[in-house]
Chain A
Amino acid sequence: MSKLMSWRELEIGCIVPEPGNSVRYRTGDWRALRPVLDKSKCIKCLLCWVYCPEPAIIRHEDDSVEIDYNYCKGCGICANECPVKAITMVPEGGE
């Protein structure tokens, strides 16, 4: 997150003058459970990538996936959908 502005620096009327700057607004800090991917079990079916509502599953060229923790809110849909149980939800702050 960039430096927070003071009230004197804000644009009039709550306007955000720069389009698309929401990508810099990281929303992954509310997470209570963190999905952890075991790459050795992954079969590259991409169901996690399809179902993630954020989307916080990054798909690579070879269809392997990675979790984007900057935006993942820990909903657990990916872990629930994974047919080979390659994703487990672990408490944040734990291991």
Chain B
Amino acid sequence: MAAVTRVKGQRRVGMTGDEAVAYAVKQADVDVIAAYPITPQTIIVERLAEYVNNGELNAAFIPVESEHSALSTCVGASLAGARVFTATASQGLALMYEILWIASSMRTTIVMALANRALSAPINIHCSHDDAYAARDTGWIQFFAENVQEAYDLTIQAFKIAEDKRVLLPTIINLDGFILSHSLEGLYVLSDDDVRKFLPPKEPVNPIDVERPMTYGPLALYDYYYEFKRAQAEAMKNSYPVILEVFKEYERISGRRYAPVKEYGMEDAEVAMVILGSSAGTARYVARRMRERGEKVGVLSLTLYRPFPEKEIVERLRGVKAAIIMDRSYSFGSPGAQLFMDIAAALYNEGERPLLINAIYGLGGRDLTPDQVEAAFRAAFEAAKTGVVKERELWLGVR
């Protein structure tokens, strides 16, 4: 998101990330909400329950007995033609797992807020990106918010993207648990009227209709399953230009510019850091201080995670000698954590590409400090100078 510009009709308010998401969902005028409470997303559905109860939002709020049921309810509602929202985190997302695949394969348009939280054990309620990564192969579009303003803006845009007839894919907005979900920030909110114009009522494709019976979720064996997956792959690819279009349209009404990738200092960067979520601010803060000392560092942060903005990343990293890929999660036994593997794969066929270091940070809500970011940049400078990556995997700040 580029610098906030005041646009007529917007209000400056103070909200936590969770409250901002709930407010966006209310303005999106959803028809059905089904969710099960789990920290740190609880406030989202608490607020929505209040909006429904006090008549501010005309929606069916369906309390369920588990996250598995929550997402199953959302699938049915979405196929019936409703605009649908749910929210979860960590273990809740894990319990939704089998339905995640069904929701995307049946091309529902569910929007989900994921208040990122570490997976057990040991039990923890704070931020890791384990849950977001666990959903990366399930066919959902995924965005990462860096701050409360982005959590609000991306939620509104997510409905428009998910429901676009060229897309029809469920969408996740990731917001770092507690760091964003529970932090009070100032943000601009659009008028209800502007959101209504931006987001007209959903026009369902093939909705469940007793007058027009169809089979939803049939069996397809070796004769058709393969073709369905190929078609689904195409839908995800097709979502990319639609996402860019929606970003543009949203800029017109909000004055805030979104892009799949945000960059800082990349025009002349020798070493770069690639990062997701709220820690991008810390990375840029350190980069700014280092650049003031004449050190050519840059930061790339991803607003869009799936579909992966491969071309943008490859282009921005051209000319960079060494890059640190930051993962707030770990992929046991893999050749690098999740974002690292994505970026390594994206770069592999490039003739000229940077050396890559994978830095693990902040698991279970541990703070990422400026010193840790600087140490990671130093490791990248060392690799750039010697042409060798001494340690591919760093665990920043671990005892």
Contacts and interface: CB of A to CB of B under 8 A. Distances in A.
Please indicate whether A and B come from the same complex rather than being unrelated chains: yes
Interface of A: 4-8, 10-19
Contact of B206 (A4, A7, A12): A12
A16 to B, nearest CB: 4
Given A15-B214, A19-B213, A10 B231 contact: yes
B214 A13 contact: no
Given A7-B234, A11-B206, A16 B227 contact: no
B399 interface: no
A16 B218 contact: yes
B206 A15 contact: yes
B107 A13 contact: yes
Given A6-B227, A7-B228, A7-B230, A12 B205 contact: yes
Nearest to A19: B213
B208 to A, nearest CB: 10
B227 A19 contact: no
A8 B238 CA distance: 13
Interface of B: 79, 105-108, 168, 205-206, 213-218, 220, 223-224, 227-228, 230-231, 234-235
B230 A15 contact: no
Given A13-B105, A13-B106, A17-B206, A7 B231 contact: yes
Nearest to A21: B215
A11 B230 CA distance: 12
A13 B223 contact: no
B207 to A, nearest CB: 11
Contact of B227 (A10, A13, A15, A18): A10
Nearest to B226: A7
Contacts of A11: 206
A4 B234 contact: no
Given A4-B223, A7-B234, A14 B214 contact: no
Q: Which residue, A7, A8, A18, has most C-beta atoms of chain B within 10 A?
A: A7
A12 B216 contact: no
Given A13-B107, A14-B105, A8 B223 contact: no
5 contacts: A7-B230, A13-B216, A15-B216, A15-B218, A16-B215
A12 B215 contact: no
Contacts of A17: 206, 214
A14 B234 CA distance: 14
B75 to A, nearest CB: 11
Nearest to B106: A13
A5 B223 CA distance: 9
B214 A8 contact: no
Contacts of A14: 105-106, 216-218, 220, 228
Nearest to B223: A4
B230 A19 contact: no
Contacts of B220: 14
B367 to A, nearest CB: 43
Contacts of B215: 15-16, 19
Nearest to A12: B107
B227 A5 contact: yes
B170 to A, nearest CB: 11
A17 to B, nearest CB: 5
